[in-house]
């Protein structure tokens, strides 16, 4: 019986919206029984989290939205949340609020209500209210707001059934948009704008549109213009300046303050607070006193990072070597096996040199990336990451980036792919883009094998110093490029967005939370970047195979021809031979392949060192390393840049820019060096 | 006085917020507007500060904190 009812399609589409740290994720997990990450860094849930559960005869489809403070979209997260609530066909939006800070939390709800969204107000963290002996008259609140109210304690799983019942009861409610009285003058202005908007065909209530126009909301202005109501925008602007001149106040500010005035009056009527004794510093505050201390802040941060790296690369390295060996063995044995059953050479090569090496190239990164992500998820779930941004804010401002950009830069030393992904938490689009664009210049661990090979042959006595100069060069190019882009590219211009960031309370992360979080990111890397690496490997295999009369990756294959074509280009940089060009080309798949390519082209590991000595001088070896450091990071990084910027324009730009910079720097090094020596 | 000159542990009432429209709006929507009470949790004196809005902790850049004008509550 019940099953028949469910299949009838009684699905209720619910979204959870609210300020960061109001408890949305906790509510989501409690409702759906897990499979969503419990975040701690405000705004980390960029991905849309959906879950299903059954209650009574209904099937609930729940979406956990990124935290947001208002309907004004400042960051990608906030835009996602706003668009979802305003554009999607939802039955109910549950407005999850932190009851310990009602003023601010109700602001978002009030915005929803003005928009006419069918909302249920969830006063979460009720347990804390109880502890503090704060009483809320929910009946009265329902009356005043015209929307149902429930109280929950997500962490204690209390009030969840009431919430579900309330969602069911209110799903078909007839909604009247909430009317806040903005005072005589503003109301007159609203009326004028409303009149000019008569018969507009918009999903939003006309009053809402009018208020937003007066507030100067850019998206709404665009929307109204698009519908051919340019004149209304002008009316609103005129009214705005009339009020500012006539009454001396800023309309935007005034409207927001009126809204808060409305909220405060509701709180006054519905919430009884027992006068509290002076608030004490919480444990979190005490930890912050140490962690963000003027003198200790940066050393603590440096120590945590150093430890993370050490552990990531020692532990990850073991796995990486193992995987590398495994795929090497697999390729070899498959070749032997294919030969024994008489499979044609090209097919054997496709499987061995192409597919197996390709998949191997993806998998070799995986352990390092997963371990790095596990550490970062841990630091994030503890609540430390936002403190790190706080600590670095001042230093980063000097190079034109906010404090939050420091984390992606540091991660870049490990691997640029997760580093670029971690830029998501930066709210300003312009700062985020800049952070992504300069990241490839941070020397990742995949470039290390190239340095190791060349310094081992040409700079035996001062390997460390040479290595250090390369890393510093990467940083310098990143910093200078940031400055250059910021001063020349219009989209990146403007002051660094100032720091305004919520600091979540510290808490002990759960193993489950950290593992889910880690896996979600790792899976994304595998899926998205993996397909691109794989496709790239196949492409290069094809180039290295045809024409089939030639030996794999020899001078007369397509890739050899391409190498020969490009080789003269590197004359000014000191390495004008086709093998170097081919190695650089292969290096696009992954930088460590440069080493392997030289190995193949110069006839195996044994002959390598002698051949390199014949072709390179210490100077051209250095310029080749500079080139390897700076030109296009690798296919995976290009893929992730595209995915994160969602723009071929920026992806192409940074790829081309890095090629040019790599070539220019290598040439400068070689030419200046030649003069000096 | 601007909030940035306040000391750790002191409590204030926000009187006005000066400055650029975009960020003014963001601050207000995050719950910092005139009439609200804030407490400085940490002001190291040379960089961003941490303030408390009831149970919420917010980090504010130095520039932001200089634009928030407050009155000290004894
Ligand atoms: N005491 C208490 N803490 C809660 C409650 N709900 C959530 N929290 C805590 O509040 C913090 C933020 O919760 P989270 O779900 O990550 O918030 P989100 O950013 O809105 O998704 C976490 O530390 C939760 O454990 C509650 O009802 N009572």
Angle between the N-to-C axes of helices A448-458 and A618-630, in degrees from 0 to 180, rounded to the nearest 10: 170
Cα torsion at A252, A402, A43, A87 (round to 10°)?
A: 50
DSSP letters spanning A574-592? T--SHHHHHHHHHHTT-TT
A659 vs A657: CA distance, rounded Å: 5
Among candidates A101, A253, A499 on the partner chain, residue whose Cβ is nearest the Cβ of B28:
A253
β pairing state of A49-55 and A58-64: antiparallel
Which domains occur in chain A, in start order?
A: 3-170 (3.40.50.300), 184-281 (1.10.287.1770), 300-495+513-676 (no CATH)
- Determine, for residues B50 and A288 on separate chains, whether the beta-carbon distance falls below 8 Å: yes
- Determine, for residues A289 and B42 on separate chains, whether the beta-carbon distance falls below 8 Å: yes
CA distance B56 to chain A (A): 7
Could you tell me which residues are beta bridge partners of residue A63? A15, A50
Name A554's Cβ contacts closer than 8 Å, sequence gap at least 6: A560
Q: Which helix (H) or strand (E) holds B69?
A: strand B68-73
Which residue ranges make up each domain of chain B? 3-72
Nearest to A295 by CA among B45, B63, B53: B45
Complex ipTM over 0.90: yes
| A525: confidence class by pLDDT, cuts 50, 70, 90 | low
Phi, psi of A597, deg, nearest 5: -65, -45
Q: Which two tokens stand for residue B8?
A: 């750790």
Q: Contact at 8 Å (CB) between B26 and A74? A: yes
A640 vs A3: CA distance, rounded Å: 44
Lowest mean pLDDT among A385-394, A413-422, B30-39: A413-422
Contacts of B31 in chain A (CB under 8 A): 69, 101, 103-104, 107
Q: Between chain A and chain B, how many beta carbons pairs sit less than 8 Å apart?
A: 114
Q: Contact at 8 Å (CB) between B70 and B16? A: no
A residues 292-331 closer than 8 Å to B (CB): 292-294
- Determine, for residues A281 and B41 on separate chains, whether the beta-carbon distance falls below 8 Å: yes
- What average pLDDT does this structure show over A548-574? 88
Contacts of A100 in chain B (CB under 8 A): 54-56
Q: Does A241 touch chain B (CB under 8 A)?
A: no
Q: Is the CB of A38 under 6 A from ligand 1?
A: yes
Q: Does A104 touch chain B (CB under 8 A)?
A: yes
Q: Contact at 8 Å (CB) between A637 and A420? A: yes
A589 vs A586: CA distance, rounded Å: 6
Phi, psi of A63, deg, nearest 5: -120, 130
The fourth-level CATH superfamily of domain B3-72 is Ferrous iron transport protein A (FeoA) (2.30.30.90)
CA A76, A77, A82, A83 torsion: positive or negative?
positive
Contacts of B35 in chain A (CB under 8 A): 260
What is the C-alpha end-to-end distance of chain B, expressed in Å? 14
Q: Is the CB of A509 under 6 A from ligand 1?
A: no
Q: Is the CB of A155 under 6 A from ligand 1?
A: yes
Find the farthest-apart pair of alpha carbons in chain A and give their distance in angstroms, rounded. 93
Q: How far is the CA of A539 from the centre of ligand 1 (A)?
A: 48
Q: How far is the CA of A34 from the centre of ligand 1 (A)?
A: 14
Q: Does A284 touch chain B (CB under 8 A)?
A: yes
A535 vs A354: CA distance, rounded Å: 10
Q: How far is the CA of A64 from the centre of ligand 1 (A)?
A: 13
Q: Does A430 touch chain B (CB under 8 A)?
A: no
Q: Does A175 touch chain B (CB under 8 A)?
A: no
Find the farthest-apart pair of alpha carbons in chain B and give their distance in angstroms, rounded. 32
CA distance B47 to chain A (A): 6
**Chain segment A180-212, per-residue pLDDT in tens:** 999 998 999 999 999 999 888 888 899 999 999
How many Cβ atoms are within 10 Å of A172's Cβ, its own excluded? 9
- Determine, for residues B29 and A256 on separate chains, whether the beta-carbon distance falls below 8 Å: yes
Nearest residue of chain B to residue A291 (CA atoms): B42
Q: How far is the CA of A27 from the centre of ligand 1 (A)?
A: 8
A416 vs A634: CA distance, rounded Å: 9
pLDDT of residue A605: 56
Lowest mean pLDDT among A276-280, A519-523, B24-28: A276-280
**Chain segment B1-33, per-residue pLDDT in tens:** 999 999 988 999 999 888 766 777 888 888 998
Q: Contact at 8 Å (CB) between B14 and B35? A: yes
Q: How far is the CA of A537 from the centre of ligand 1 (A)?
A: 45
Indicate if the pLDDT at residue A49 is higher than 50.
Answer: yes
| A33, A363, A386, A392, B59 from A300: Cα distances, Å | 37, 33, 14, 12, 18
**Chain segment A81-104, per-residue pLDDT in tens:** 778 888 778 899 999 999 988 989
- Using DSSP, state whether A405 is helix, strand or coil: helix
Chain B residues whose C-beta sits inside 8 Å of any chain A C-beta: 17, 21, 23-31, 33-36, 39, 41-42, 44-48, 50, 52-64
Reported pTM: 0.76
Q: Which two tokens stand for residue A73?
A: 């979209």
A108 vs A41: CA distance, rounded Å: 20
pLDDT of residue A607: 72
Q: Is the CB of A407 under 6 A from ligand 1?
A: no
A residues 514-553 closer than 8 Å to B (CB): none
**Chain segment A437-446, per-residue pLDDT in tens:** 999 999 887 7
Nearest to A155 by CA among A502, A507, A503, A501: A507
| A43: confidence class by pLDDT, cuts 50, 70, 90 | very low
**Chain segment A324-362, per-residue pLDDT in tens:** 788 888 888 888 898 898 888 888 878 877 777 767 766
**Chain segment A650-671, per-residue pLDDT in tens:** 999 999 999 999 999 999 999 9
- Using DSSP, state whether A666 is helix, strand or coil: helix
Could you tell me which residues are beta bridge partners of residue B51? B40, B58
Name A471's Cβ contacts closer than 8 Å, sequence gap at least 6: A413, A443
Q: Which residue has the higher pLDDT, A121 or A252?
A: A121
Q: Which two tokens stand for residue A179?
A: 């009317």
Nearest to A448 by CA among A313, A314, A592: A592
pLDDT of residue A331: 83
Among candidates A74, A104, A285 on the partner chain, residue whose Cβ is nearest the Cβ of B31:
A104
Q: How far is the CA of A97 from the centre of ligand 1 (A)?
A: 10
Name A119's Cβ contacts closer than 8 Å, sequence gap at least 6: A92, A93, A94, A95, A109, A112, A113, A147
- What average pLDDT does this structure show over A224-241? 91
Q: Which helix (H) or strand (E) holds A422?
A: none
- Using DSSP, state whether B41 is helix, strand or coil: strand
DSSP letters spanning A441-484? GS--GGGHHHHHHHHHHH-GGGHHHHHHHHHHHHHHHHHHHHHH
Most B-contacting residue of A40, A284, A292, A398 (CB-CB within 10 A), to test interface: A292
pLDDT of residue A246: 81
Q: How far is the CA of A382 from the centre of ligand 1 (A)?
A: 13
């Amino acid at each position: 019986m019940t099953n028949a009812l469910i299949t009838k399609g009684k699905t209720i589409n619910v979204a959870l919206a609210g300020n960061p740290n109001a408890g949305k994720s906790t509510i989501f997990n409690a409702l759906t029984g897990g499979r969503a990450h419990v975040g701690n860094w405000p705004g980390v849930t960029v991905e849309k989290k959906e879950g299903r559960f059954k209650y009574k005869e209904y099937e609930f489809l729940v979406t956990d939205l990124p935290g947001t403070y208002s309907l004004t979209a400042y960051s990608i997260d906030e835009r996602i949340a706003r668009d979802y609530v305003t554009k999607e066909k939802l039955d109910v939006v549950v407005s999850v609020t932190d009851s310990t800070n009602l003023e601010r939390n109700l602001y978002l709800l009030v915005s929803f209500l003005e928009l006419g969204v069918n909302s249920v107000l969830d006063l979460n963290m009720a347990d804390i209210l109880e502890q503090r002996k704060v009483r809320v008259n929910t009946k009265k609140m329902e009356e005043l707001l015209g929307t149902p109210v429930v109280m929950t304690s997500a962490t204690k799983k209390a009030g969840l059934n009431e919430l579900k019942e309330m969602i069911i009861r209110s799903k078909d409610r007839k909604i009247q948009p909430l009317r806040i009285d903005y005072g005589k003058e503003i109301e007159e202005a609203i009326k004028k704008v409303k009149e000019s908007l008569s018969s507009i065909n918009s999903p939003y209530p006309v009053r809402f549109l009018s208020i937003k126009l007066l507030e100067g909301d850019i998206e709404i202005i665009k929307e109204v213009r698009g519908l051919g109501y340019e004149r209304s925008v002008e009316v609103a602007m005129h009214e705005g300046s009339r009020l500012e001149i006539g009454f001396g106040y800023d309309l935007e500010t005034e409207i927001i303050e009126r809204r808060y005035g409305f909220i405060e009056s509701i709180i006054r009527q519905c919430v009884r607070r027992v006068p509290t004794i002076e608030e004490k510093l919480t444990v979190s505050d005490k930890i912050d006193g140490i962690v963000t201390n003027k003198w200790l802040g940066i050393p603590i941060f440096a120590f945590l990072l150093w430890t993370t790296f050490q552990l990531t690369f020692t532990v990850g390295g073991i796995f990486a070597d193992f995987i590398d060996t495994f795929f090497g063995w697999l390729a070899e044995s498959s070749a032997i096996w294919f030969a024994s059953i008489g499979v044609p050479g090209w097919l054997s090569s496709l499987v061995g040199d192409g597919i197996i090496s390709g998949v191997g190239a993806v998998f070799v990164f995986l352990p390092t990336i997963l371990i790095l992500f596990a550490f970062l998820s841990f630091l994030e779930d503890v609540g430390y990451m936002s403190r790190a941004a706080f600590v670095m804010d001042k230093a980063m401002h000097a190079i034109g980036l906010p404090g939050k950009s420091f984390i992606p830069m540091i991660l870049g030393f490990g691997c640029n792919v997760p580093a670029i992904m971690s830029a998501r938490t930066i709210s300003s689009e312009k700062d985020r883009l800049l952070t992504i664009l300069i990241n490839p210049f941070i020397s990742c661990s995949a470039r290390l094998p190239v340095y190791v090979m060349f310094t081992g042959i040409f700079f035996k006595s001062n390997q460390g110093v040479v290595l250090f100069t390369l890393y510093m060069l990467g940083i310098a190019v990143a910093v200078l490029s940031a400055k250059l882009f910021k001063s020349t590219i219009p989209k990146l211009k403007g002051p660094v967005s100032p720091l305004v960031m919520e600091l979540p309370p510290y808490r002990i992360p759960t193993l489950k939370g950290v593992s889910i979080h880690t896996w979600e990111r790792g899976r994304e890397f595998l899926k998205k970047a993996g397909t691109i690496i794989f496709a790239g490997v196949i492409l290069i295999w094809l180039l290295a195979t045809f024409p089939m009369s030639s030996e794999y990756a020899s001078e007369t294959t397509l890739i050899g021809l391409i190498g020969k074509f490009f080789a003269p280009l590197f004359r000014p940089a000191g390495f004008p031979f086709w093998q170097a060009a081919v190695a650089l080309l292969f290096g696009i798949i992954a930088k460590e392949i440069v080493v392997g390519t030289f190995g193949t082209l110069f006839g195996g590991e044994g002959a390598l060192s002698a051949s390199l000595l014949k072709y390179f001088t210490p100077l051209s070896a250095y310029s080749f390393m500079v080139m390897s450091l700076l030109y296009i990071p690798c296919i995976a990084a290009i893929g992730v840049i595209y995915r994160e910027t969602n723009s071929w324009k920026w992806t192409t730009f940074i790829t081309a820019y890095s090629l040019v910079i790599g070539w220019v720097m290598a040439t400068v090094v070689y030419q200046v060096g030649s003069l000096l020596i | 006085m601007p909030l940035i000159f306040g000391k750790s542990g002191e409590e204030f009432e926000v009187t006005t917020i000066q400055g650029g429209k975009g960020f003014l709006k963001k601050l207000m929507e995050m719950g910092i507007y005139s009439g609200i009470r804030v407490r400085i949790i940490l002001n190291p004196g040379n960089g961003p500060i941490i303030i408390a809005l009831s149970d919420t902790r917010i980090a504010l850049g130095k520039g932001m904190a200089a634009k928030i004008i407050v009155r000290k509550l004894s």
